[in-house]
Amino acid sequence: PDVEEDAIFESGLNLGLISRNVNASAPSCLVVKSHNAGRFLCEFTYFTSMCVDKTRVAFVHVPPLGIYSAEEVADTLKMCIGEMLQQLFSSDGIKERDVS
């Protein structure tokens, strides 16, 4: 699609709230909202997904192993996905369920 050069694309998910809620749960990894998906493949994937349906899109960069263990990253990512699903369930009128 035609896009203005300084257009801003934001997910329909409240990513700031997701990061605050996950961090309040004391995960092993710190979660922060970014305004940059990166370059090349990451940004292309995020932009393309936003063009399809920005209400359900999030792009998550994870740190390289060694900073955190695979288990720590997986546990924190699971919390993030759970928060995203909670938002989608409530915004779509879908009955909430345990997503843990």
- pTM, two decimals, is 0.78
Is 54 among the domain residues?
yes
Is 9 among the domain residues?
no
Alpha carbon distance 75, 25 (integer Å): 11
Is 62 among the domain residues?
yes
pLDDT digits (tens, 9 = 90+) for 74-87: 999 999 999 999 99
Alpha carbon distance 66, 56 (integer Å): 30
Is 31 among the domain residues?
yes
Q: Which residue segment(s) compose the domain that 81 sits in?
A: 15-92
- The amino acid at 42: C
Q: How many domains does the chain have?
A: 1
- The amino acid at 28: S
Is 10 among the domain residues?
no
pLDDT at 20 over 90: yes
Beta-carbon contacts of 88 under 8 Å, excluding residues fewer than 6 positions away, are 13, 56, 94
C-alpha dihedral (11, 16, 18, 22), degrees to nearest 10: 150
